[in-house]
């Protein structure tokens, strides 16, 4: 397995902190988790472009750790290489599509208690920040080799399938539709949604677009709307 120097780890952590917005124990755990996942798959850190095309990561929590994992592995929701499953578990699964190898890495609860031993004399939060840099992977994580069945409709690449919900008319992509009593429905119509009482509205400045003349005036070097009465374009 490829080793990561402390300097490289620190660099990855700094990048993750900048992307996420703050340093916290979850960031350190996430960076360690991401590194371990890539090492288990024998990928470079960060992955090369060909490796990135073979990498899928499932994160099981929407916490700081998830952002750090995504930063280290360079997976993205929009590229379909990052998947979120809302289990509320500090775990992530790293999959190599080329080999079908998959490792689920779980952050141990014991590591939280051990932090005060690895970095004594500090507050719990400070101890965690310090200890998670020193604790061996074996103490921080449990790893399971798992099988993940991904359908072709879960993979990165262009949309492979579209249908229209027969109730609301929305287009549903990648086979996320539901068949109910012979009808093809989107999930909100078939199963209910995280929102309720939807109602279409109108809003101010509905005529705005980034390419509208109003927006063009917002470019640097152009007069703002409030200045327009005083002259033309600045030199």
Partner 1 sequence: MKIISLEEAVGTRLAHDITEIRPGEFKGAAFRKGHTVCEEDLCRLQRLGKNHLYILDLAADEIHENEAAAILAEALAGEGVVWENNPREGKIELYAAYDGLLRVDIPSLAAFNLVDEVVCATLHNHTMVKRGEKIAATRAIPLVMKRAAIQRAAAIGRANGGAVAVRPLHQAQTGLIITGNEVFHGLIQDRFARFSPKRWRPWDRLSRPWSFALTRPRPLPGPSRVNWPRGVTYCS
Residues binding partner 1 (CB under 8 A): 108, 110, 113-114, 117-118, 131, 135-139, 142
The CB-of-118 to partner 1 minimum distance in angstroms stands at 4
| DSSP letters spanning 176-194 | --EEETTEEE-HHHHH--S
Q: In this structure, what is the dihedral angle of CA atoms 31, 36, 39, 45, given to the nearest 10 degrees? A: 0
The CB-of-111 to partner 1 minimum distance in angstroms stands at 8
Distances (CA, A) of 11 to 48, 75, 179: 17, 18, 49
Q: Return d(Cα 185, Cα 2) in angstroms, integer.
A: 47
Do residues 137 and 34 touch, judged by C-beta distance below 8 A? no
Based on CB atoms, which residue is closest to partner 1, 94 or 141? 141
The CB-of-106 to partner 1 minimum distance in angstroms stands at 12
Based on CB atoms, which residue is closest to partner 1, 139 or 178? 139
Based on CB atoms, which residue is closest to partner 1, 17 or 131? 131
The CB-of-141 to partner 1 minimum distance in angstroms stands at 9
Residue 27, both tokens: 């960031």
Based on CB atoms, which residue is closest to partner 1, 86 or 145? 145
């Amino acid at each position: 397995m490829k080793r990561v120097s402390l300097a490289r780890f620190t660099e990855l952590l700094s990048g993750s902190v900048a992307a996420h917005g703050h340093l916290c124990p979850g960031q350190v755990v996430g960076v360690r988790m991401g590194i371990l996942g890539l090492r288990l798959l024998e990928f470079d850190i960060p992955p090369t472009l060909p490796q990135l095309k073979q990498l899928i990561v499932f994160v099981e929590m929407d916490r700081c750790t998830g952002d750090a994992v995504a930063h280290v592995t360079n997976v993205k929701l929009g590229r379909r290489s990052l998947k979120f499953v809302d289990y509320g578990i500090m775990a992530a699964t790293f999959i190599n599509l080329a080999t079908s190898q998959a490792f689920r890495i779980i952050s141990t609860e014991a590591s939280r208690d051990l932090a005060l031993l690895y970095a004594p004399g500090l507050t719990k939060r400070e101890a965690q920040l310090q200890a998670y840099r020193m604790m061996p992977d074996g103490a921080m994580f449990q790893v399971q080799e798992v099988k993940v069945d991904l359908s072709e409709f879960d993979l990165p690449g262009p949309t492979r399938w579209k249908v229209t919900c027969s109730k609301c008319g929305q287009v549903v992509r990648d086979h996320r539709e539901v068949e109910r009593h012979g009808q093809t429905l989107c999930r909100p119509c078939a199963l209910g949604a995280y929102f309720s009482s939807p109602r279409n509205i109108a809003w101010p400045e509905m005529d705005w677009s980034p390419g509208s003349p109003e927006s063009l005036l917002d470019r640097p070097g152009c007069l703002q709307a409030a200045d327009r009465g005083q002259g033309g374009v600045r030199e």
